[in-house]
A and B are shown apart, each in its own frame.
Chain A
Amino acid sequence: MTPEQISRRLQDRFADAVRAADASGLHPHAVVEPGRWVEVARFLRDDADLAMDFLRSISGVDYPEDGKLVSVYDLISTRHGHAFAIKVEAPRDNPHTPSVCDVWPAADWHEREAFDLLGIVYDGHPRLTRILLPDDWAGYPLRKDYEFPREYHGIPCSTETNQERPLH
């Protein structure tokens, strides 16, 4: 299926849950309502025409101007070869997104990573702990307003990154 067809199919099936969709760009995707996300995910995986059985990646993206933390799910079907992405948005001040570990076990470490680096809380994840950073690390480095610590357990950290973007 083409991205347009996938997008149409999702909107036909979940008219109230799938919002503004960009199906023609370089990164065809649809935006899904957090409350219905697990249901949509199951449909994406189980529907015979879609068969999105392979979760490639979950990327958290911070948009402070919009007050949003977005989880980007890149999916591909090993049966049909078509790819599509889903975005689920969470408010920045209370970032909760349902976990899709039950749908794609692959989401396990990806969600932990997005929690670790961006602080998105995936409700229903069996073991949502930091994965790359130490457990006692403060803050979420990939947020745009992250302030690099000056020291960690007595180890001095570089303050070079406290400069304002862009460095170049």
Chain B
Amino acid sequence: MLDRDESRTTASLIIPDPVDVDVTRDDAAGVDSDVMTEEMLVNMGPQHPSTHGVLRVVLRTDGEMVLEATPHVGYLHRCAEKIGENLQYFQFIPYTDRMDYLAGMNNNLAFALAVEKLAGLEVPERAQYIRVIFAEMNRIASHLVSMGTYGLDLGAFTPFLYAFRERELILDLFEAACGARLTYSYITVGGVTDDIPAGWLERCVEFLDYFEPKIKEYNDLLSYNHIFIKRTANVGVIPPDRAIAWGLSGPVLRGSGVAWDLRKATPDLVYGRMDFEVCTGKGRMGAVGDCWDRYFVRIEEMEQSVRIVRQCIDQIGGAAGGHKAKMPKILKPPAGETYYGIENPRGELGFLVISDGTAVPYRVKARGPSFCNLAILNEVATDCLLADVPAIVGSIDVVMGEVDR
């Protein structure tokens, strides 16, 4: 991405060369040793503009230093897993929409794949392509929100408007296919609910052509913004070994330089045929695994998702089958259990589904990426400056609907 930026004549005016950016910050430790003040508990949230929903963090502070950050979650808890034990398999799909509500397609997909594995259902090839297209389009939409709101957290208002401008177009495409703009329930057990409408793929290509150059706009506007870099580089560094030990996944894990992506590690659907890269943090603005790295992984992943969608659109014409497998009226998977995890925009979303042979699951457990990624907050935020906490929380990019389930 940098290479292309450099080819622009005006690039040098807007985009600072990474080595020119002075990312050394006032030493946080210096603040600590200068003055020891009285400890104070600061309550951040649950109603706070930078917590992306109802996250409450209790901060034990010494002056400007954070000594301990304790997240309190559960404000949106509705025990979706208990609901899952009382509904038929396909009836649970709408509840998955409402977990990570910024990535409804991906959530539908994870649960559908788990149930299909349990029931031994074969999904037609065409349906698999459609699923990948929608999952990747939703990844772009989700990363756009993440990018926009992250700028918002750090005082940059305009990127947010840019992000939502493009996201609207993706939502228009989703609406054309399934009628919904947020909670789709489009990907379902056995395939997708309806085939894509006529002319949809052409519209999608049109969008991709429009969207791809926009990524550079975001970089000009936010990624290489001097203030933004100052606020995010070298802040909230997560070393790779800690990231794995804490079970982080998605851009938060890859931002620490770990090339772990379930689309590559356990390729399902047609991901095995796709040519794309796993984007990792490289410490271009500071240390590997800082907030900027995590942020920038998402920007790079949008480009990769565009690549994947383009390949799917090229290949879908030759795909066999329809949009849905032949399904029994009431699905009763044989008694057994399975765990299935896929790469959501925020990381690994896994479902453990246990069947007792009836039409209702015995147990549905959702392993949400936001929940797991948020758990490391105390370790990262400790010994940071108070003003860095929004930068760290924003870079972890949680959706509380899925943390609390």
Residues of A within 8 A of B (CB): 25-27, 53-57, 59, 61-62, 72, 74, 76, 78, 81, 83, 85, 104-106, 108-110, 113, 117, 130-134, 141-142, 146, 161, 165-168
Contact = CB atoms under 8 A, between A and B. Distances in A.
Contacts of A72: 339, 352, 365
B327 interface: no
B405 A132 contact: yes
A56 B246 contact: no
Given A55-B247, A74-B352, A106-B245, A142 B82 contact: yes
Which of B91, B117, B339, B363 has the largest count of A CB atoms less than 10 A from its CB? B339
Contacts, number: 118
A56 B367 contact: yes
Interface of B: 73-74, 77, 79, 81-82, 85-88, 91, 117-118, 242, 244-247, 258, 260, 265-266, 336-339, 341, 348, 350, 352, 354, 358-360, 362-363, 365, 367, 371-372, 374-376, 379, 404-405
Nearest to A60: B365
A161 B352 CA distance: 23
B82 A105 contact: no
Nearest to B365: A59
A104 B336 CA distance: 27
Contacts of B260: 54, 78
A109 B375 contact: yes
Closest 9 pairs between A and B when the two form their complex, measured CB to CB: A106-B247, A57-B367, A59-B365, A26-B338, A132-B74, A109-B375, A132-B77, A166-B360, A27-B337
A53 B348 contact: no
A20 B354 CA distance: 18
Given A27-B352, A109-B372, A131-B74, 19 more contacts: A26-B118, A26-B336, A26-B338, A27-B338, A27-B339, A54-B244, A56-B348, A59-B363, A61-B363, A85-B339, A106-B247, A109-B375, A131-B73, A133-B74, A146-B82, A166-B359, A166-B360, A167-B87, A168-B86
Contacts of B352: 27, 57, 59, 72, 74
A132 B404 contact: yes
Contacts of B338: 26-27
Contacts of A62: 363
A158 to B, nearest CB: 12
B368 to A, nearest CB: 9
A26 B87 CA distance: 22
A168 B87 contact: yes
